[in-house]
Amino acid sequence: MFFMNLFRKQRDRSSASKSTKWNPHELPTHIAIVLDGNGRWAAKRALPRTAGHAAGAETFRRVATYCKNIGIKYLTVYAFSTENWSRGEDEVSAIMGLLEKYLHESIEKMERDRVKMKFLGDTTVLSPKLQALIKETEEISKKFEGVQVNICLNYGSRTEILRAVQSLLTERVQKESMTEEEFSKHLYTAAIPDPDLVIRTSGEKRLSNFLLWQSAYSEFYFTDTLWPDFDENELDKAIIEYQSRERRYGGVK
Ligand code: IPE
Ligand code: IPE
Ligand code: MG
């Protein structure tokens, strides 16, 4: 607990009172983040990987609040992939435990935070307790407008695409009706616009099975900062970089 408080104080100082330099009229509607580097953050401090995940959860709450405050409409975070089950059982159960704790706290603070929360991925394989918390969180928060936070849990983009194909086949959708728009409606992200900006922390430059279909025309931003060290200033930097890009969608300017 001591190190968490110390770590929070340091960051509070570093992110206070810095003026933002981005244009409030050209904010990305949807920001998606591959939050990576929790394990390395912990290793640098000779802490167990779990401590990195706990710190990462704090960062997530903080970044979500900031997104809400500045007017971002959608924030999607990659919290647990279909491939992350291959980690040690201890780490997986610690992550699931942290998720439960996070959701309990979110439900408690729901009326104060007023954030709509959705879960993307196959959550049916999670523990009944976690599934109940997910259901409750989605149910209570659906009335909130402003920011929608999507948490990708047991999410894998290839599985998502395959499931979409399977459901289109089950519905016997005619070949001619299988448009990009129709296809998108069968993804976990149906009704969510494609991400404008995809951020990955920790220096890795890959998607790791995240939003493969949806990121066709996203802008990518990579930072060496480890996720637990990411904060409002880091997000500002990403938004500034995003606003300096020219999105051409294959056309010319
Ligand atoms: C991201 O941090 C969180 C999850 C994938 C659950 P990592 O746990 O991947 O951290 P590193 O990449 O090992 O540092
Ligand atoms: C991607 O991070 C998955 C999540 C952030 C949930 P990983 O750490 O699992 O990805 P790789 O193994 O480095 O590609
Ligand atoms: Mg990683």
* Calpha distance 222→217 (Å, rounded): 16
Residue 80 Cα to ligand 2 midpoint, Å, equals: 8
DSSP string, 165-227: HHHHHHTT--GGG--HHHHHTTSTTTTSPPPSEEEE-TT----SSSSTTTTTT-EEEE--S-G
Q: Is the pLDDT of residue 127 over 60?
A: yes
* Mean pLDDT along residues 161-190: 95
pLDDT tens string 80-122:
999 999 999 999 999 999 999 999 999 999 999 999 999 999 9
Would you call 69 a catalytic residue per the annotation? no
Of 5, 12, 23, 36, the catalytic one is 36
Q: What is the pLDDT of residue 13?
A: 43
* Calpha distance 108→90 (Å, rounded): 27
Question: Which element (helix H / strand E) includes 62?
Answer: helix 49-70
The residue whose CA is least distant from atom 11 of ligand 2 is 208
Q: What is the pLDDT of residue 15?
A: 46
- Which atom of ligand 2 is nearest to 36's Cα? 5
Closest of 120, 180, 122, 114 to residue 146, by C-alpha? 114
Encoded tokens for 105: 């706290």
Distance between start and end Cα atoms, the chain: 53
Q: Is the pLDDT of residue 3 over 70?
A: no
Would you call 231 a catalytic residue per the annotation? no
pLDDT tens string 39-79:
999 999 999 999 999 999 999 999 999 999 999 999 999 99
Q: What is the pLDDT of residue 253?
A: 84
* Calpha distance 30→70 (Å, rounded): 12
* Mean pLDDT along residues 154-159: 98
For the CA of 48, the nearest ligand: 1
Please give the share of the chain, as a percent, with pLDDT higher than 70.
92
The pTM for the full model equals 0.93
